[in-house]
Amino acid sequence: MADNQKIIDALNEDRAYELAAITQYMGHHYSAEGIESPAIIEIFKETAIDEMKHAESLGERIDYLGGEPTITPTKIETGGDIKKMMQDDLQAEYGAIERYKKHIKLCEELGDTTTKRMLEDILAQEEGHANTWETTLTKKK
């Protein structure tokens, strides 16, 4: 059971960041302005929906493992122009990638292949989000 608690704690950390990401992306979706913003606004919205799915998957797995899914987000970055928003989101994606890699290793060490697979799927999507922001920011220079 101690192993389950380590995984539950890791998943709740991930969930708290996902809850923040949802709010951050939706805030950027609502407040982004500028001539280049229509396409970017859609990316903010689509990514927020992806993050909602991640939070839901994490919550379901936490519940299955006997834990209580957190409802408290981590810090949310707000404000700035559209470039700053994208940079804030890219930094959040980099943080998510590192966390998920660390938590995948934890699951591997503890023999939880189901949670490991779920986190690998989420990691692949987070890497895709980071790639989107890297590509978009490169085009905006």
Residues 14-59: tens digit of each pLDDT: 999 999 999 999 999 988 877 677 889 999 999 999 999 999 999 9
Q: Which domains does the chain have, with CATH numbers?
A: 2-139 (1.20.1260.10)
Q: What is the pLDDT of residue 1?
A: 55
Residue type, 33: E
Q: What is the pLDDT of residue 32?
A: 85
Per-residue pLDDT band at 3 (split at 50, 70, 90): confident
- 85 contacts 24 by C-beta, under 8 angstroms: no
Q: What is the pLDDT of residue 79?
A: 87
How many Å from the N-terminal Cα to the C-terminal Cα in the chain? 51
Per-residue pLDDT band at 122 (split at 50, 70, 90): very high
**Matching residue, tokens 């503890």:** 110
Distance in angstroms (rounded) separating the CA atoms of residues 139 and 141: 6
Instruction: Identify the DSSP state of 141.
Output: -
- 122 contacts 54 by C-beta, under 8 angstroms: yes
Distance in angstroms (rounded) separating the CA atoms of residues 79 and 88: 10
Q: What is the pLDDT of residue 37?
A: 78
Contacts of 74 (CB under 8 A, 6+ apart): 16, 17, 19, 20
Q: What is the pLDDT of residue 39?
A: 87
- State pLDDT tens for residues 78-118: 988 999 999 999 999 999 999 999 999 999 999 999 999 99
20: number of Cβ within 10 Å:
19
Instruction: Identify the DSSP state of 50.
Output: H
